[in-house]
Each structure stands twice: as structure tokens, then as C-alpha cells.
Structure 1
């Protein structure tokens, strides 16, 4: 394998490793074929020994499985060079490491990597909002590939979770205002942490102590930051918002939105009636639109990954839903892993 091919493979493996893609889905055999000792070192320094991973570690059990698979391939004789001692040393280091906090990292380019504190479990503390889901990655990629739509626009996201979509928008679009929202205290705590971690070019001008969470009402600004750039001042913030309060008069009287976004928020049918007054699945969601005189929709082509990485086996349907005043885009993501059909989507 020549150096150009190796560099290309390494970037692909980094994207997967950083974001915690299951090790069984990472093709290490190709990069390990006739690998040199020098490139072994590059592979280790680009994954488990990368400065970002050392400071903000992905789950140590995940790193252990990754190194175990790598050693298994190398020990099988796929390379003529000796296995570097440093690989075994890092395996022992990782095996004996512990942490209560874990991260995932989303590779935008060599100099721009989004770091998110996430919970390793899909569901914890009664919420699914403490980790990044496939639909969020797809929507983030869609926004990157259609970033011209957001020039100087105001954006509001529902159910922002740990913040991937909003942070991507702040880095890859020229949106004027980006407001993220959620209603779960622990999710909002992580969301605010992640925004501060990834937006060092913004200055925080307002922040609420989440110890007071039980006293706060929907619509309250929890974090507000501004940044002065060549496009003018940009705003990035977080609001507490529970959908059951959607009809509250004056809830967001101070907020004007060009687009409303959401990813993977309709997995629970109990929230549908607050989203579009519908308690069924995606099919019923679309049927409701058909029955609403002021709305109509059309199916759009989904995007292929160019920047972010996600499991392309996840079935996704993308729709544009139009009204006289705004556009609403939703895609259904059936999930069968819990023996129920869940649907996630995004709104614009």
C-alpha cells in the first residue's frame, strides 16, 4: 500500500474510531496488509494515542476491543514487519484505564473535530437524549451539503440532545442565530457543556445555573453566546422547551425562526400530538399532512455521507413539507432493535 492510499485509509478509520462506530464494522484488514512499522505508529497515533482521544477519551472498553482486533490481524501474519512494542503498551494502558465520563468525536476535517460528551448507553436516566443518533448525523450531513439555505437565517432546533446538529450548523453554515432546545435536565446540562467545549470563538453573555432547573419555565434562555465574524454578529444559545407547553401564549415572543429543525424526535408516539397533533407513526404523520389544507409534502432524495460517517444500512426517507409561511422537512428512520418500529426525523 502506497503512502497516499494509507493516508486515505487512516482518515476513514479515524472517522469511525473517533465516533465509536462498532469495531466489527471497521475494516482494519485493508490498512494492515503489508503495513510498515512506521505506519503502525501512525495508525496508533491517529487513534488511541491521538491527543484528542487522550484528553477526551472514547469509552475505554471500546478502545480495548479496537486494539485487540488490530493485534489479532497483525499477529495473523498479514505483515512482514515486527509488531511495534508500543501497540502492546497502549493495549495494557487502555485495559487498565477508567473514566466516569466518555466522549465521541465527529471528524469534519483534519483541523476541525467536534467533541461531544455522551453517555455510552442509548437510553439512560429515562431519556434517549444523552447520545447522538443516526438521524442526527444524516440531518447534519444534509445541512452541510445544503448550507446555502441557512445563510443569515435564524434556526431553532427541537430535542437537541447532546448538540451535534447545532454545533455543525455553527461551524458549517453562516446562520445568523442558532437556538437549541430540550426539556430534560441532564440532557441540557450536557448540551451546554458541549456547546462551550466546541465554540471557543463565541463569547458567553448569559448563562443560567442548572441547579435551579426545577424552578425554570419553558422558553427560558439557559445559555447565550455571540461571535463577531466577517458575516456580522452570530448568536448561539440554548432554551428550555417542553413540547407540552407549545400553546403557551408568548412562549417565544422574543424569537423569530426561519427554520425549525429536529432529528430523531418522533420515536415515542406520545409526543406526536404536541408535534403535529397526531398519535400514529410516520404513515399517519404524512396522512395528517394530506388532510391539512394549508400543508403539502413531497419526497426528497437523501444524501450520501461526504463529511460525517454513519451506518448507511439505516433506512431513511426524506420529505419536504410546505406551508404558506415555512418549510418542514421530515425523514422516517425505522428502528427495529427494540422490537418496535420507531421513527426519527428532522424538520425544517
Structure 2
């Protein structure tokens, strides 16, 4: 029986490989057979499909269009999770005075890391600083089953887009509040439906009582180290969050960033040291699911608040 299953898996992989390398229409792929196979198989099958398609040596050397890869990955992710993440974004890198209306590479990188490390977020309250278009948070809400998720940003247009993307993905959005309602206990929450909140959070003026009310178990941020002023504001917020925990266990914190300017990264770690916040590099994840630039050097730091 094991041999028969191995042969079936091999044929399925070959079918995906041939169709992807030929850039065939996605509807021609054996998606139904994949779904049936996934009911009895581990996620290793999905990793094998990635190796035979987007990570195939020919595709690495001669990559297909980003649109084709993105559509393929969206369909592939939909199979094990029963869903996909849909985003409305700006076509301009900078729009209306903000960079938060598009998804940046570190957000994709952190989303991949979260998919591979779901236990970090499962049944926990997550506060995201600088959510932008919402890709990372939506992925965590759908794939990692947090108890509650707080999207935050300071720009009104970013917040408006965030709300739209949350509703676009079928998540229940609670009323906005500068100070969210205290989250319920573990036994009263349905892990399949996280409490989702969008809140305006200006790092330069937010107060300790406002931050304390979030009571996060996990704090994340992606691609927010883009200038010295932002770095200083972020460290101040992290230091305040650390100080207002009182008798609660300190939250886990993960900051993902693209290394564009080493001096900015050095400033961040230096300021963390001054604030008494230690850090370590989070282990790199194995799978690459999103089509970001291969040459980008990215890092995730785990902070001990």
C-alpha cells in the first residue's frame, strides 16, 4: 500500500511540474487530486510541489511572470488551509505621503516564518506595529489561529485600506478603539475565529496606559526600520510595552526587516541595548512561498522584553 501511495504522489508531482514549467492555465492542474492526497498526507507534499515548480532550477534561472507565480501560490495555499489571502494595494510605492499602502518584502518574509512557526501565535493575542496593507496579519489570522489580533498603524488611509482588506478576507472586524477591550480567557475563545481590531497608533504620542490595555502575548512588526527617527520611536514603544507588563509574562516580540542600510540596523540594535532589551536572530525558515526579490537580505530578530 505504501508503494502504491508513493507512486501516486510521484505522478501528482510530475503532473504539477510539467504543467508549471509549460506555464499551463491554472485550471488544468490536478487540484482535486491534490486535495484528496492532502487529507492523508503531511505538508511535506506541498514542499515537494514547491521544489518541482517555483523552486525548480529552470524557474530559478528563467523565472515565469510574477503574476503567474503569485496566482499559482495563492491557489496552492488555498488547498491545505481552505482559504487564501486577498489584498487591495496601491500600485505606487509611495502614495498619499505613506509607504503603508503596499506590501514590502519583510512582511512576506515574516508571513512565511509565521506559517512555519504557527505555535508562536496559536491561542494568543497578537499586536502588530505598523501593519501596512495587512498581509502578515491576515496570514497569521488565517493560518496560525490566534485568539485575538490587533492591526495598528498611524496613517488614516492605511487604516481605511486595512479595514477593507480584513473584510475582503471574511474576517469579523470589531469596532475601532484606541484602547481595545481586554481579551477573554483561553476557554471562551473560538480559535478558528480570532477577535480582530484595527486601531490608530502613533508611536510618538501613544501613552503607557494605551499600550498597557492591549495586553499582547506577541508583538510583531515588519519593514519599519527605514529611518533613524522611526527606529527611535519604535524602541520607545517597545520599552514602554516592556515596562507596563507588571505581573504579566513579558510578550514575545519579533521584528522583521530588510537590510538596506547597515547603519540603520546597527542603530536599532544599539538603541535596544540602551533600553535594556536583549535580542537574538530568529532561526531562518525553510520554505519560500512568496515571490519577493531573491537578492534581498532579510532578518527577523526575537526581542526579550
TM-score band by shorter chain is 0.5 to 0.7
| Gapped regions of structure 1 (runs ≥ 5) | 14-29, 33-39, 47-102, 208-217, 222-227, 324-348
Which of residues 174, 183, 191 in structure 1 aligns to 2:162?
Answer: 191
- TM-score (structure 1 length as normaliser): 0.55
Residue-pair matches, total: 220
Match 1:5 to one of 14, 30, 49: 14
Give the alignment's TM-score, normalised by structure 2.
0.62
Shift of residue 124 of structure 1? Answer: 1.2
CA distance in 2, matches of 1:284, 1:160: 22
Give the CA deviation at 1:230: 5.3
Higher strand fraction (1 or 2): 1
Select the residue among 138, 153, 159 that pairs with 2:124: 153
Among residues 95, 113, 122, which one is paired with 1:124 in the alignment? 95
Aligned to 1:255: 214
Q: Which residue of 2 aligns with 1:235?
A: 195
Alpha-carbon distance change, 262 to 204 in structure 1, aligned in 2, over 3 angstroms: closer
1:112, CA displacement in angstroms? 2.2
Output the CA distance in 2 between the equivalents of 1:314 and 1:251.
Answer: 35
Contact 1:105 1:115 in 2 (8 A): no
Q: Does 1:320 align with 2:305?
A: no
Matched, 1:219 2:178: yes
1:114 to 2:85 alignment: yes
1:219–1:252 Cα contact (<8 Å) kept:
no
1:299 aligns with 2:258: no
What runs of 5+ residues in structure 2 fail to find an aligned partner?
Answer: 1-10, 30-69, 181-187, 238-262
Q: 1:23-67 CA distances to partner (integer Å, 9 max, x unpaired)? A: xxxxxxx426xxxxxxx5x35878xxxxxxxxxxxxxxxxxxxxx
| Secondary structure in structure 2 of the residue aligned to 1:288 | helix
1:305 positional shift: 2.9
SS of aligned partner of 2:84:
strand
In 2, the alpha carbon distance for the partners of 1:250 and 1:45 equals 55
In structure 2, C-alpha distance between the alignment counterparts of 1:3 and 1:249, rounded to whole Å: 55
The equivalent position to 1:308 in structure 2, one of 282, 286, 290, is: 290
Matches within 5 A, 1:76-115: 107=74, 108-110=77-79, 111-115=82-86
Q: Displacement of 1:231 after TM fit? A: 3.5
User: SS where residue 238 of structure 1 aligns?
Assistant: strand
Q: Distance in 2 between matches of 1:249 and 1:187?
A: 23
Counterpart in the other structure of 1:178: 149
Task: Say if 1:104 and 1:117, in contact at 8 Å, map to a contact too.
Answer: no
Whether 1:281 aligns to 2:286 is no
- RMSD (Å), alpha carbons: 3.2
More contact order relative to length (CA 8 Å, sep ≥ 6)? 2
Report the counterpart of residue 133 of structure 1 in structure 2. Answer: 104
C-alpha offsets along residues 238-258 of structure 1, whole Å, 9 cap, x if unaligned?
Answer: 001111113x25224532101
* Structure with greater proportional helix content: 2
Q: Call closer, same or farther: CA 1:123–1:296 in 2, change over 3 Å.
A: same
Give the Cα–Cα distance (whole angstroms) in 2 for the partners of residues 277 and 284 of structure 1: 13
Cα distance, 1:105 vs. partner?
9.5
Cα deviation for residue 233 of structure 1 reads 6.1
Q: Which runs of 4+ in 1 moved over 6 A?
A: 103-106
Q: Give the match's secondary structure for 1:180.
A: strand
